[in-house]
Structure 1
Amino acid sequence: MTNTVRFNVLGPVRAWREGAELDLGSPQQRAVLAVLLFHGGALVTLDELVAAIWDDEPPRTAVGTTRTYVHRLRRVLERDPGKPTLLRSAGGGYAINSRTVDLHDFQQRLDAAAVAEHAGRAAQAAEELDQALAMWNGPALAGVPGRYAEAQRARLAEVRLTTMERRQEIAIALGHHRDAVPELTALVGEHPFRERARQLLMLALAGSGRRADALAVFRDAHRLLADEFGVEPGPELQRIHREILDGEAPGPTPGAGQRSTAVRRRADLAGRAA
């Protein structure tokens, strides 16, 4: 009988077998599992696991405790812990033989969106990005301690934001300006210094006939950047502002479609130790 376990890392670290959720234990034990999953089947040494859990201050019992975490995970994940097929040992380290991870599926959706967009199928690209974003259930590795988890959380948060922006950029390109406004408004509210989100919100508002609101978005950005950093808005934001002032229909950022490839690279599951 095959041992198929489904893992989630785009949110709390969780696992299921045949629809039943598995008890993965303490946050530190979940941290061990997360490191193994993020290495996509590659061997992770015991020292790397210890560092991921305790950073620079491991206790004297760290090695033994880490081995205990692996042993406990094996008891949960394997049908027969004495004959492991999923969590294997080799060369003083460990690896998980699994591709059933939500991050892997997220990556595949981003790839499919990029292919569709390159072929001129914008509606299909939008659908793929919707499917990708629907996989998230909060911050990646929520509740997992350590610098390793924090670095992955920050990296994937940026990938998620970039994907959200790209999704709304496609909506605007398809003429769905009004549909894009609510999510972009929320994005700007949560990330007020993120200029790309502001650019897209201005485009969506202008395309919805809300020219005054689009100009207000620029004024707010100008004030925030001046107050916090003493700088002006970037050239792209200024260009969109200038075109709206001149009564023109502002266009998208030149070459914006190339960002989908960048998103794919940043979300790649392999070689992810920060």
Structure 2
Amino acid sequence: MRFRLLGPLTVGSEDSPLDIRGNRLRAVLALLLINSGAVVPMDDIIKAVWGETPPRTVRTQVQVQISTLRALFQSIEGVKISTHPAGYSLHAPPGEIDVLVFDQLVQRGRALSAGRQLDAAAALFREALELYHGPPLCNVDAPFAQLAGVRLQERRLDVLGELFGLELRLGRHQEIVPTLTELVAEHPLRETFWRHLVVALHGAGRRGEAIATYHQVRRLLREELGLDPGRELVAAYRDLLEEEPTAPSTVDREALAATLDCLRLTEQLLRDLRRQLEALSLSLAGPADGCRGPESRAHDSMTAVADEDQTTSQSTVMEWVEPSRSRTEKSCGPEQFRLARVLTSIRPVVGL
């Protein structure tokens, strides 16, 4: 790759780089490379390189810089600077300019990601990011260079965010925690990296650290910008608080089946009890002629329940619902009233 802008501007191979002397010469070349294949008007070159107050001889200086660059590139096949009525253009094979190679790799990676080929997409993103070898255009001092360098750095950070998103989808939570920790320290206001770090910590089984990380960035955003975290970061935090339950094991399913069987048996017993109590309620609602209905075993059991503060065992309940035995007559009295009170207290339980 002959032209590298994703770091200090260099031309030629690492073994034999061309000597691009002079800041203005580097600035004109960088501007033409960023706009490779397009015509850059003379006025745009002047403003981008010399600023708002260029010297009177600025057009001549531009022509001198272009002639110098043509002399440097005359031995490089496929590289040409053309003159147009409005300005100049530089043509070079796309594979010779690192910015264009970066864009091609990212475009292919995004296509693979959309097709769920996550490993292949991540590999292309890594290859693209490896093209960066320092702050873009850090050795070019010109009005346009600082903004152009920031834009190129933003493209790197965007792809880094996409790469870590793929790594998380591939389950590599623990592996990326150290790098994400460095990135949030370098770019503390970039929420994408914070969100990935929260998710990575959670996926690595470090839930407490993930919660602390969210509150850290929340405080930071409020103190620095007066803002709350964005929607995606908040969603990651909510997912953290609402962990999915572990899928039931075989033992859990067996315990659940046993519980259901017990509930079915209890339901049947309650239905039997309800029928007995309905019959008992009808007998208690009979005529008050000074005589009560025949004594039944259910009457004896319920009296025992009242005497023992209604702390009956299952055997007592089963005895209670058995068919009544022999009947005898007794006069009405306080015991009948007491039995009615017990019946009233248990009616809500059985749905009477």
The TM-score with structure 1 as length reference comes to 0.83
Tell me what 2:91 maps to: 97
CA contact 1:10–1:136 (8 Å) conserved in 2:
yes
Q: Distance in 2 between matches of 1:229 and 1:124?
A: 38
Match of 2:167 among 164, 171, 176: 171
In 1, the alpha carbon distance for the partners of 2:205 and 2:6 equals 37
For residues 17-32 of structure 1, the aligned pairs below 5 Å read 20-32=16-28
Superposed CA RMSD in Å reads 2.0
Return 5+ residue gaps in structure 2 as ranges. Answer: 246-352
Q: Higher relative CO (CA 8 A, sep ≥ 6), structure 1 or 2?
A: 1
SS at match of 2:236: helix
1:153: Cα distance to partner? 1.3
Q: 1:238 and 1:17, CA in 2 relative to 1: closer, same or farther beyond 3 A?
A: closer
CA distance in 1, matches of 2:26, 2:60: 16
Q: 1:60 maps to which residue?
A: 56
Q: 2:219 aligns with which of 217, 223, 240?
A: 223
Tell me, yes or no, if the aligned pair for 2:109 and 2:121 is still in contact at 8 Å. Answer: yes
Deviation at 1:28, TM superposition (A): 1.4
Partner of 1:239: 235
Deviation at 1:239, TM superposition (A): 2.1
Task: Describe the SS at the equivalent of 2:83.
Answer: strand
Output the CA distance in 1 between the equivalents of 2:129 and 2:240: 31
User: CA 1:218 to 1:37, structure 2 compared with 1: closer, same or farther past 3 Å?
Assistant: same
Q: Distance in 2 between matches of 1:157 and 1:140?
A: 7
Q: Kindly state the Cα deviation for residue 236 of structure 1 after the two structures are TM-superposed.
A: 2.0
| Contact 1:52–1:146, Cα closer than 8 Å, also in 2 | yes
Partner of 2:185: 189
The one-character-per-residue Cα deviations of 1:185-220 (angstroms, maximum 9, x if unpaired) are 111111111111110000001000111111111111
Residue 66 of structure 2 aligns with which residue?
A: 70
1:108 Cα shift? 0.9
Instruction: Output the CA distance in 1 between the equivalents of 2:87 and 2:21.
Output: 20
| 1:12 maps to which of 8, 24, 27 | 8
* Deviation of 1:127 (Å): 0.2
Rounded to whole Å, the distance in 1 between the matches of 2:100 and 2:224 is 38
Residue from 68, 74, 79 that aligns with 2:75: 79
Question: Conserved in 1, the CA contact under 8 Å of 2:221 and 2:227?
Answer: yes
Alignment-derived partner of residue 289 in structure 2: none
Distance 1:217 1:78, change over 3 A: same
* Cα 1:85–1:146 shift into 2, 3 Å: closer
Match of 1:40 in 2: 36
Match of 2:139 in 1: 143
Conserved? CA contact 2:73–2:80, under 8 Å: yes
2:230 and 2:84 mapped to 1: Cα distance?
51
Does 1:106 pair with 2:102?
Answer: yes
The separation in 2 between residues aligned to 1:193 and 1:149, in whole angstroms, is 23
CA pair 46-76 structure 1, distance change in 2 beyond 3 A: same
- 2:313 maps to none
Alpha-carbon distance in 2 for matches of 1:77, 1:200: 45
Distance of 1:38 and 1:223 partners within structure 2: 39
Which of these two proteins has the greater Rg computed from alpha carbons?
2
Q: How many angstroms does 1:24 deviate by?
A: 1.3
What is the number of equivalent residue pairs in this alignment?
242
Contact 1:78–1:87 under 8 Å retained in 2: no
Residue 17 (structure 1) shift: 6.2
Q: What is the deviation of 1:150?
A: 1.8
For 1:102 and 1:85, the matched residues in 2 are separated by: 14
Is 97-106 or 128-137 further displaced after alignment?
97-106
Letter matched to residue 87 of structure 1: I
Amino acid at match of 1:88: S
User: Which of structure 1's runs of 4+ aligned residues deviate more than 6 A?
Assistant: none
More divergent stretch after superposition (142-151 vs 51-60): 142-151
Tell me, in whole angstroms, the C-alpha distance in 1 between the residues paired with 2:238 and 2:162.
Answer: 23
**Aligned-residue identity in percent:** 33
Q: CA deviation at 1:13?
A: 1.2
What are the equivalent positions in structure 2 for 1:251-262 lying under 5 Å apart? none
In the alignment, is the contact (CA less than 8 A) between 1:181 and 1:205 conserved in 2?
A: yes
Question: Is the alpha carbon distance of 1:85 and 1:195 closer, same or farther for their aligned partners in structure 2, counting shifts above 3 Å?
Answer: closer
Q: Which amino acid aligns with 1:90?
A: H
Mean Cα deviation higher: 119-128 or 87-96: 87-96
Question: Match for residue 155 of structure 1?
Answer: 151
TM-superposed deviation, 1:248: 4.2
Residues 19-52 of structure 1: CA distance to partner in whole angstroms, max 9, x if unpaired? 5211111121111001111112112122211111
Q: Considering fraction of residues, name the structure with more helix.
A: 2
- 1:217 corresponds to which letter in structure 2? T
